Structure 1
């Protein structure tokens, strides 16, 4: 959306530049004023374009942060024989809200599931990663 706004401002500035060039050729004194208006419009277009670029880079950084957190969760799950709690993640430096968000998002994606038996037994929501449970241990956990 911001990119389109930037391109729109540039398109609108084109007639101003045309008028400025014609005024310079004709030797008119007001050509400086139209040139300044054209420069201001290009400056506005550059600012809007920069805002679009910044928003895109922030989105990419947020995705990278999330994927990094996912990798940390998977490493923790592997270390804990296929299960992770929010408290486990808090102990390694996650904020509570981040830990809940990443685990819930991974559960929605089907990467993990809430282990109802462990949750009922301990009273703490436990997330299970079936692919990371060591062979032979999966029957003991159920």
Structure 2
């Protein structure tokens, strides 16, 4: 089975949806094994340099970054930083719309296709080179 390392990028307030995406990606019926990585605690209180270094190291080790698009994702400082790092490292970025949310995307990814919260669509996109 092919393993794909995925970093989940999301606004901290949307972390319950990140839990849902974890479950969707770890479904045993997937053709690929997705190893997700994301922050499990709010790192903002550690200082800007500390959380930026931590996130950069995590993103560097991934094959793809899934960005969960919610109500206020477009102005989330941490998400914008994560997207910038992924872009600079040439990491594939896959925006996924959180169900029933209609917020804008961060400018850095506004030309990318936003996927629906759908396991087949997400798996198909992750499997593309």
Q: Indicate the TM-score class for this superposition, using the shorter chain for normalisation.
A: under 0.3
Larger Rg: 1
Give 1 or 2: higher helix fraction. Answer: 1
Higher RCO (Cα < 8 Å, 6 or more apart)? 2
Name the TM-score, length of structure 2 as normaliser.
Answer: 0.26
